[in-house]
Amino acid sequence: MADKPISRFPVPALDDMPEDIRDTILGVQEKAGFIPNVFLTLAHRPDEFRAFMAYHDALMEKDSGLSQADREMIIVATSNDNNCLYCVVAHGAILRIRAKDALIADQVATNYRKADITPRQKAMLDFAMKVSNNARAVGDEDFATLHSHGFSDEDIWDIAGVTSFFGLSNRMANVTSMRPNDEFYMMGRG
Amino acid sequence: MADKPISRFPVPALDDMPEDIRDTILGVQEKAGFIPNVFLTLAHRPDEFRAFMAYHDALMEKDSGLSQADREMIIVATSNDNNCLYCVVAHGAILRIRAKDALIADQVATNYRKADITPRQKAMLDFAMKVSNNARAVGDEDFATLHSHGFSDEDIWDIAGVTSFFGLSNRMANVTSMRPNDEFYMMGRG
Amino acid sequence: MADKPISRFPVPALDDMPEDIRDTILGVQEKAGFIPNVFLTLAHRPDEFRAFMAYHDALMEKDSGLSQADREMIIVATSNDNNCLYCVVAHGAILRIRAKDALIADQVATNYRKADITPRQKAMLDFAMKVSNNARAVGDEDFATLHSHGFSDEDIWDIAGVTSFFGLSNRMANVTSMRPNDEFYMMGRG
Amino acid sequence: MADKPISRFPVPALDDMPEDIRDTILGVQEKAGFIPNVFLTLAHRPDEFRAFMAYHDALMEKDSGLSQADREMIIVATSNDNNCLYCVVAHGAILRIRAKDALIADQVATNYRKADITPRQKAMLDFAMKVSNNARAVGDEDFATLHSHGFSDEDIWDIAGVTSFFGLSNRMANVTSMRPNDEFYMMGRG
Amino acid sequence: MADKPISRFPVPALDDMPEDIRDTILGVQEKAGFIPNVFLTLAHRPDEFRAFMAYHDALMEKDSGLSQADREMIIVATSNDNNCLYCVVAHGAILRIRAKDALIADQVATNYRKADITPRQKAMLDFAMKVSNNARAVGDEDFATLHSHGFSDEDIWDIAGVTSFFGLSNRMANVTSMRPNDEFYMMGRG
Amino acid sequence: MADKPISRFPVPALDDMPEDIRDTILGVQEKAGFIPNVFLTLAHRPDEFRAFMAYHDALMEKDSGLSQADREMIIVATSNDNNCLYCVVAHGAILRIRAKDALIADQVATNYRKADITPRQKAMLDFAMKVSNNARAVGDEDFATLHSHGFSDEDIWDIAGVTSFFGLSNRMANVTSMRPNDEFYMMGRG
């Protein structure tokens, strides 16, 4: 499938990228063994690339009351609801690895209510789905429900932040027809 | 995960099943190497079990202008739209095997518009989604579109039949919390 | 209206049908005084015909905590929600007869919340509508609500089964443009 | 069923009504043989009663490129879509009488796309459904489609007017739980 | 912008209007300083004009447990939900004046849940939104909620009446492309 | 209204902010005459603040085939569709100023199809609404439509980028109950 386009927009060669972006990408490649296509697709717009990655890291690499697996669950559940192929496949892989669970990503993507997760995680995903689809109606009763599951206000911000940021990502991936790397499909299933 | 319930309803022991149902199930087990949970879940209702399997076979094992992979694609796409975990996981496995393609099921489940399939298959899935969500509005123009992709009226019945039957299946699987066997997740990914 | 087509697909002559199907149809005709068009429409596909009728009978003729009128209400309410002309008209007739109530079918079809039915029946129809439109979200709280109205788990399976089966039927009737027999419109109104 | 309430709000006795309203109601009763419950329900609010009836007559009794049967079809189709029991039952009766067709009301209510009506009438009802559900998006292309079916701009106003007025009526009937008179169910079926 | 059409239908000259309609309009002009375009647009249909204005006054000028500002809030919230430009702009102006609050109209139009209004007003608007979008499901529990906020049954009729009438108005304004007068945009902001 | 909270989360004092963020905010204050509340609300999370502002500037201050008024229109139309009070009020103000048009923001927010904008701008907003609500279905035909209005592929990325970024912003503003500054309501109306 190496000949399938990874974006419907131009994808710059590594040599043509600004140095900081090339360095970022080479760093990821060294760690992951391949370059996730989101990096190449967004490198078409260097300033947006930088802001996107900074936002991603601010949400995903911070300390939080949400584990990294929790955050990946939010991405996988809302991305399938938004029918974003790139995000479900790529973050499904990361979720399997973070949660050390080969089945969890397909469960959470398809119907988190039937997944092998805790009631606390289901409440977290209920809220993420509301932020994704009906943020207009988020209010005190949602905060109360989440508090009753042990989430702090800061955790709630984190749920909303991850959901909202990947809502952006889902939309851009769908518009650009961003193609997930073949490598992601099998990661963490072993 | 062997201790997770496969249905929220009682699941009969093989020895307690009517002989024809036990025979069917043992036949499947011999072929597949395990018993898909849909057989055990529905065995709770022997008459419904028999009708369900007969209907399934009438649609899925007949000769058709739709290949078996085509029919599995319909199941996978509409089942994810209905958020049916059992059907996406089990038929995703069968689709990978039928299509000899390790990536196809995740693509078709998440967003068939971005999948590595033909325009004819996309038209087939567009129609399947309309049958699933808005059959009330199916009319001449849908038939004309499908004809233009080379589908006959009989093929159109087949698309509608597979979609409608698995719409039934999706609803029963969601109400019974039917659990996909762990084996399905990895089948056909090799 | 005898010249209006009853299906957009070919309808076999009685003489051309497999014997078991012809016998079934002649039996229905003897009892009802006419042949409901669903039999003729589906006879185009003998194997599907047999499975459809077996499934129908498994759900509709079994003993159940749901009366036969209850089951017809489920069909009428969800079929109008799916805008299925055949099912609303044909099962509306059967509902009037089963419930010995000339008004009940139009009430349940149009807005069951305003119909002359019991709170238990309204809870049954609330659940049927959820199975029809949002089975993905069916869970413990739905079972608890139905238990509080005296429904057993087996009754809940029956509600789900009838809803899901007629969801299949609604979709096939809409795709085939299955025409209800004129006779149904007046049955049970007297 | 004479003891079923016709409204969840107080219903005035004829003797307690303002004279003009009582006269209107007695006139209707003389013509129809009974008093349609909408008159009694709305008589609770005399000023709204008068405006409602004046609006009704301005739309329904005027000369128009839409026949009176056409206008009743609009009411029946959109009222079922709004799940208004009173309007479907009462105007279904009037439609049967106006169109001299015992089957037409159930067809148009359940799925007008499958009804025995002309393509022009289907286009009219397509537009009525758009006005009812998505008036925000009505634009030039809708006018062009309707012109191509022979509707003038004045006819289009009439379609929109009837749809909008009965949208009001549907909402008030649902909020007041306005009960259709038993007489309506059988009218025009003979 | 004086050359922008105020309606896609013909707008009669004042001199060509029936005398009572011209008098009404001149009266409004004297009070408001300009003629709101709804009067000119609807004057194309004198009988509908008269009924519309009578209905409007019956709901909006009566004594009620709802203040006039309350009633304008209902109009503004539901009209934005229906994307009716005329009604949001014109009644937004009136709301600012009635409530003596320069910010209230934009708040209520955009998201009343975030507006500077009372919990009682939020409950009123929750119900108005349900009447507008889902009147089919209005029932006892809605009445109970509103009673708990101090609304009487008569107040509830008023909420439903205003919502339903302006639902009519929203649809007609969208179909006619009724243009709000430029004057409205600034009224009450000072 | 100075005592109304601007966020349901803690808002840091200027003195407690990291220096770069304080400098950014003081710079904005000097230019605008006040500190827009989005800066104060997001300052609660410095890393997210920095990424948000960088992303904003990358999309909003770049050269583009979309004018700055075009970009503000996208924000205003999609933010009202998402019922985001902060974004409609704040970016409505900026739109009025950028477009030098006192009426444009209320028009575009309420129903852009009725706004005084060009067909090209309507096509742009049609696409923005699709990206916001149904990005899953964006495909070749959308690109073709936009090309026919003179948009380049890079312009299409810009429409998608602005829509997606403000979709994030809308969700965070609704979850945090971010309050628009009173100053925005009147800006550009003069």
Contact residues, chain D, for B139 at CB < 8 Å: 113
User: What was the pLDDT predicted at B135?
Assistant: 98
Nearest Cα residue in chain F from D136 = F111
Interatomic CA distance for residues C58 and C164, integer angstroms: 13
Nearest neighbour of A135 by CB, restricted to F51, F161, F175: F175
Contacts of D16 (CB under 8 A, 6+ apart): none
Residues of chain E below pLDDT 50: 1
Size of interface B-D (CB pairs under 8 A): 4
Q: What secondary structure, in 3-state letters, does D41-80 show?
A: HHCCCHHHHHHHHHHHHHHHCCCCCCCHHHHHHHHHHHHH
Report ipTM (2 d.p.): 0.97
Burial status of residue E150 (CB atoms within 10 A of its CB: 0-12, 13-18, 19 or more) = exposed
On whether any CB of chain A is under 8 Å from the CB of E145, the answer is: no
On whether any CB of chain E is under 8 Å from the CB of F182, the answer is: yes
On whether any CB of chain A is under 8 Å from the CB of F152, the answer is: no
Chains D and A touch (3+ CB pairs under 8 A): no
Chain F nearest CA to D134, separation (Å): 12
Residue F101 DSSP class: -
Chains D and C touch (3+ CB pairs under 8 A): yes
pLDDT of F82 strictly over 50: yes
Contact residues, chain D, for E163 at CB < 8 Å: 171
Contact residues, chain E, for F4 at CB < 8 Å: 116
Residue C67's region, left for phi above 0, alpha for psi from -120 to 50, else beta, is beta
User: What was the pLDDT predicted at D2?
Assistant: 52
Q: A46-60 and A19-32 helices cross at what angle (nearest 10)?
A: 50
Nearest neighbour of D185 by CB, restricted to C4, C102, C182: C102
pLDDT tens digits for E123-135?
999 999 999 999 9
The torsion defined by the Cα of D112, D116, D122 and D126, in degrees rounded to 10, comes to 0
Q: Answer yes or no: do E106 and F114 touch at CB < 8 A.
A: no
Place of tokens 């490198």: A43
Q: Record the tokens describing residue C105, joined without a space.
A: 């079918």
Q: How far is CA F133 from each of CA A129, A170, B33, F72, F76, rounded to the nearest angstrom?
A: 14, 11, 44, 18, 15
Dmax of chain C from CA atoms? 52
- Chain B: partners with 3+ C-beta pairs within 8 Å: A, C, D, F
C-beta pairs of C22-25 under 8 Å, 24+ apart in sequence:
C24/C53
pLDDT of F172 strictly over 50: yes
On whether any CB of chain F is under 8 Å from the CB of A122, the answer is: no
Q: Which of D42, D62, D133, D164 to mutate to test the interface with E (most CBs of E within 10 A)?
A: D164
On whether any CB of chain D is under 8 Å from the CB of B137, the answer is: yes
Residue F129's φ and ψ, nearest 5 degrees, are -65, -35
Chains D and E touch (3+ CB pairs under 8 A): yes
Q: Record the tokens describing residue F153, joined without a space.
A: 């592929």
Q: Record the tokens describing residue F55, joined without a space.
A: 């992303």
pLDDT tens digits for C155-184?
999 999 999 999 999 999 999 999 999 999
Coil vs helix vs strand at F52: helix
pLDDT of D1 strictly over 60: no
Percent of chain D with pLDDT over 70: 99
Ordered by where they begin, the domains of chain C are 14-60 (1.20.5.810), 68-185 (1.20.1290.10)
Dmax of chain F from CA atoms? 52
On whether any CB of chain F is under 8 Å from the CB of D140, the answer is: no
Contacts of F22 (CB under 8 A, 6+ apart): F14, F15
Q: Answer yes or no: do E139 and C113 touch at CB < 8 A.
A: yes
pLDDT of F92 strictly over 70: yes
User: What was the pLDDT predicted at C20?
Assistant: 98
Scan residues 14-33 of A and list those with Cβ closer than 8 Å to E.
none
Average pLDDT, chain C: 97
pLDDT tens digits for B32-79?
999 999 999 999 999 999 999 999 999 999 999 999 999 999 999 999
Interatomic CA distance for residues D18 and E161, integer angstroms: 21
Contact residues, chain B, for F136 at CB < 8 Å: 111, 113
Report which of B82, B4, B89, B6 is spatially closest to residue B44, judged by C-alpha positions.
B6
Contact residues, chain A, for B85 at CB < 8 Å: 106-107, 110-111, 114-115
Nearest Cα residue in chain C from A110 = C136
Average pLDDT, chain E: 97
Chain F nearest CA to E5, separation (Å): 11
On whether any CB of chain A is under 8 Å from the CB of E113, the answer is: yes
Do D91 and D76 meet the contact criterion of CB atoms below 8 Å apart?
Answer: yes
Contacts of D140 (CB under 8 A, 6+ apart): none
Interatomic CA distance for residues F63 and C3, integer angstroms: 66
Nearest Cα residue in chain E from F185 = E103
Interatomic CA distance for residues E176 and E44, integer angstroms: 11
Contacts of A19 (CB under 8 A, 6+ apart): none
Nearest Cα residue in chain B from A80 = B110
Nearest Cα residue in chain F from A129 = F171
Handedness of CA E145, E150, E153, E155 (dihedral sign): negative
Interatomic CA distance for residues A19 and E11, integer angstroms: 64
Report which of E91, E118, E109, E63 is spatially closest to residue E187, judged by C-alpha positions.
E91
- Chain C: partners with 3+ C-beta pairs within 8 Å: A, B, D, E
Coil vs helix vs strand at A83: coil
Residue C45's φ and ψ, nearest 5 degrees, are -130, 85
Coil vs helix vs strand at A181: coil
User: What was the pLDDT predicted at E3?
Assistant: 78
Q: Which of A52, A55, A88 to mutate to test the interface with F (most CBs of F within 10 A)?
A: A55
Do C149 and C120 meet the contact criterion of CB atoms below 8 Å apart?
Answer: yes
pLDDT tens digits for C34-68?
999 999 999 999 999 999 999 999 999 999 999 99
Nearest Cα residue in chain D from B139 = D113
- Provide mean pLDDT across the span F5-10: 98
Q: D153-176 and D140-148 helices cross at what angle (nearest 10)?
A: 110
Nearest Cα residue in chain D from F113 = D137
Residue B180 DSSP class: P
Residues of chain A below pLDDT 70: 1-2
| Cα angle, residue D111 at apex, residues B122 and C32 outer, rounded to 5° | 110
Handedness of CA B109, B115, B121, B123 (dihedral sign): positive
Residue E139's φ and ψ, nearest 5 degrees, are -160, -165
Report which of E120, D28, D109, B33 is spatially closest to residue C92, judged by C-alpha positions.
D109
On whether any CB of chain A is under 8 Å from the CB of C140, the answer is: no
User: What was the pLDDT predicted at F3?
Assistant: 77
User: What was the pLDDT predicted at B1?
Assistant: 44
pLDDT by residue for chain B (190 residues), tens only, comes to 457 999 999 999 999 999 999 999 999 999 999 999 999 999 999 999 999 999 999 999 999 999 999 999 999 999 999 999 999 999 999 999 999 999 999 999 999 999 999 999 999 999 999 999 999 999 999 999 999 999 999 999 999 999 999 999 999 999 999 999 999 999 999 8
Contact residues, chain F, for E185 at CB < 8 Å: 102-103, 106, 189
Q: Of all helices (H) and strands (E), which one includes residue D112?
A: none
On whether any CB of chain F is under 8 Å from the CB of D137, the answer is: yes
Interatomic CA distance for residues C128 and C78, integer angstroms: 7
Percent of chain F with pLDDT over 90: 98
Q: Answer yes or no: do F110 and E189 touch at CB < 8 A.
A: no
Chain E nearest CA to C114, separation (Å): 9
Interatomic CA distance for residues D48 and E55, integer angstroms: 6
